[in-house]
Structure 1
Amino acid sequence: MYVLKPGIKKNPEKRWALPDRIFFGYGACHILAGVFLQCPPLEGFHAERIIPHESFWGGHMYVTNGIIAFDYHGYSGRERLLEHHRKGWASHSPGWGCAIERVDFDPLNTAELNQRKMRGPDQYLHDPIPRARNFIERRNHARDAAKALETTFA
């Protein structure tokens, strides 16, 4: 698990300068999920959110078909992603727990996101949508999803 240095998320220039995986893994995961769903490379996916229990950090959004998931890691088994996330945050915050919720709002709508304490696409230094699209387009989705599915049932 990667931990950002204090102040990076509040500094627009430093946040934008992060490598893609860190940018989309630590503060812009909802942008990646929203762009994935705009023009899905694979059918049957929807967004879900990890919502930490009150007074804890560690929220995350990803897309899933219920078996495999896609986020800044690429494709993995959904349960594996959830366990990885839980272990990472629990190791930093004893007692960490969360709820998993299907996203019922547009992950690219600024007003909807702000209600949930997330930034809209227009609230970053530059437009993150082309950056997310490029991140997604660099993947071989059929191959990577098949590999994740294979390891899920291995």
Structure 2
Amino acid sequence: MAAEAAGAYRRTPIERADQRISWNRTDQAFFAAGACHILAWVCRASYPDRPIEIAGVRLAGDWQVFHVYALWDGWAFDHSGWNAEPDLLETNTTFEGRPLDSVKIVESLAEFCETHHSRMPHQYWQDPLPRARDYVSRYTPPWA
């Protein structure tokens, strides 16, 4: 699957206000907007023998990350599966119509959630970890 912009799946106001409605979106929409950080950390945990990093996308010069993905050897994993990181960044830049920055995230999931006002797994309507593990398993990693 080719990289798709995370912004194409942004949550509506009702999806932002109601966790159950947000949960009921398709897996791709759920992991593109609202749980991308969960997917990235689960991807890293799924391949403990690989040095998978966590990265985020933000508007150039902004501090707030709006999309998170896993990164390994130039390959990015997000709601679109595995794509070359430059393709993922170009797709999001084109969609947003503004320059973006990619930043490495070195914090733990808990620290990231606190800093960026994101939900921890226990704060979702249901546990997103099994759903994320299933989603990761659908995609063949580039080293396979």
Q: How many residues align?
A: 137
Q: Does structure 2 retain, via aligned residues, the 8 Å contact 1:66–1:78?
A: no
Task: Kindly report which structure 2 residues correspond to 1:107-146, keeping only aligned pairs within 5 A, or say none.
Answer: 107=109, 109=110, 111-141=111-141, 145=142
RMSD: 2.5
Paired residue type of 1:124: Y
Give me the whole-angstrom Cα distance separating, in 2, the residues matched to 1:57 and 1:19: 25
Q: Which residue of the partner structure matches residue 107 of structure 2?
A: 105
Give me the whole-angstrom Cα distance separating, in 1, the residues matched to 2:131 and 2:49: 19
Q: Which residue of the partner structure matches residue 5 of structure 2?
A: none
Spell out structure 1 runs of 4+ moving beyond 4 A: 53-58
Structure 2: unaligned runs, 5 residues or longer: 1-7
Give me the whole-angstrom Cα distance separating, in 2, the residues matched to 1:56 and 1:106: 17
Give me the whole-angstrom Cα distance separating, in 2, the residues matched to 1:55 and 1:45: 24
Identity among equivalent pairs (%): 26
Give me the whole-angstrom Cα distance separating, in 1, the residues matched to 2:140 and 2:26: 20
Q: Which residue of the partner structure matches residue 39 of structure 2?
A: 32
Bigger CA radius of gyration: 1
Tell me the CA shift for residue 42 of structure 1: 6.9
Paired residue type of 2:100: C
Q: Which residue of the partner structure matches residue 43 of structure 1?
A: 50
Q: Does structure 2 retain, via aligned residues, the 8 Å contact 1:58–1:89?
A: no
Distance 1:53 1:119, change over 3 A: farther
Structure 1: unaligned runs, 5 residues or longer: 91-95, 148-154
Residues 50-59 or 129-138, more deviating: 50-59
Give me the whole-angstrom Cα distance separating, in 2, the residues matched to 1:65 and 1:132: 18
